[in-house]
Amino acid sequence: MTDSPDKEETVICSCTGTSKEKIEQLIEKGVDDLDKISSATGANTGCGSCDILILELIAKQKQ
Ligand code: FES
């Protein structure tokens, strides 16, 4: 499998390398709280500084 170089990914959680796209996909599927996203992706299990970014994504999609 090859990664296409033109598909840019924004990393939300640099500790675990979790991308914005990955989190948005989960939110679309109804995984719309920080704990659930954490357990699904590992995001926010390191330094914890990405929680605000994840919460922002959740808030944005709920609008
Ligand atoms: S950046 Fe997500 S836990 Fe550190």
Give burial (CB, 10 Å; 0-12/13-18/19+) of 11: middle
Could you tell me the pLDDT band of residue 57, with boundaries at 50, 70 and 90? very high
DSSP state of 33: S
For the chain, domains (ranges, CATH) are: 11-62 (1.10.10.1100)
7 Cα–ligand 1 center, Å: 22
52 within ligand 1 shell (Cβ under 6 A): no
Q: Indicate the pTM of the whole model.
A: 0.85
- If one residue of 23, 34, 47 were mutated to test the ligand 1 pocket, choosing by the most ligand atoms within 8 A of its CB, it would be 47
For position 54, what pLDDT does the model report? 97
Q: Give the tokens for residue 49.
A: 């500084």
Instruction: Report pLDDT digits (tens) over 1-56.
Output: 555 555 678 999 999 999 999 999 999 999 999 999 999 999 999 999 999 999 99
For position 8, what pLDDT does the model report? 74
Q: Name which residue leads in pLDDT, 59 or 1.
A: 59
Q: Give the tokens for residue 52.
A: 């605000």
CB count within 10 Å of CB 8 equals 9
